[in-house]
């Protein structure tokens, strides 16, 4: 993917995404904890934006946080994500958005493991896993 922003009309986004993806990615929603496809996935590979295909995270940075959403301690590259202050629901959090298509992905918190101490808490519906080809089943 390029660094040029992916621009689509609302109608194009509704056509490209499932209703749940649209609710989370375009309307800043959140999927229920422990229900998403990747919250406990152990597959080796790369996680891409479901909206535009931009690489976001690697399974090398994924860890089990116990929060019910896929959690990563670092993005594949910092420039792939945008951070915004989120003051919804009376809280102050750091929202994470795809730098390519401006889709809402989740939030980042400062309670993650070394080496970064960060926990990128990402909604599964925002991700598409491209599994590394190993010749064996990667799901356990």
Residue numbers annotated as active site: 121
In the numeric block, the tokens 């910092």 are attached to: 78
Beta-strand runs (E) in 52-98: 55-58, 62-63, 71-72, 81-86, 93-98
In the numeric block, the tokens 């298509």 are attached to: 101
Q: Check: CB of residue 95 under 8 Å from CB of residue 103.
A: no
The alpha carbon of residue 25 and the mean position of all alpha carbons in its chain are separated, in whole angstroms, by 10
**Tokens found for residue 21:** 């993806």
Rounded distance between C-alpha atoms, residue 94 and residue 91, angstroms: 10
DSSP one-letter code for 64: -
End-to-end CA distance of the chain: give it in Å, rounded: 30
């Amino acid at each position: 993917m390029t660094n040029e922003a992916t621009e689509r009309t609302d109608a194009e986004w509704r056509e490209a995404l499932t209703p749940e993806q649209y609710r989370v990615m375009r309307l800043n929603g959140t999927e229920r904890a422990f229900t998403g496809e990747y919250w406990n996935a152990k597959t080796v590979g790369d996680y891409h934006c479901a909206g535009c295909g931009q690489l976001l995270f690697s399974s090398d940075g994924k860890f089990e946080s116990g929060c019910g959403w896929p959690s990563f301690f670092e993005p594949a590259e910092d420039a792939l994500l945008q951070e915004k202050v989120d003051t919804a629901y009376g809280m102050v959090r750091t929202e994470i958005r795809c730098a390519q298509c401006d889709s809402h992905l989740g939030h980042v918190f400062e309670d993650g493991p070394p080496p970064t101490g960060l926990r990128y808490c990402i909604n599964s519906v925002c991700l598409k896993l491209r599994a590394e080809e190993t010749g064996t089943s990667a799901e356990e």
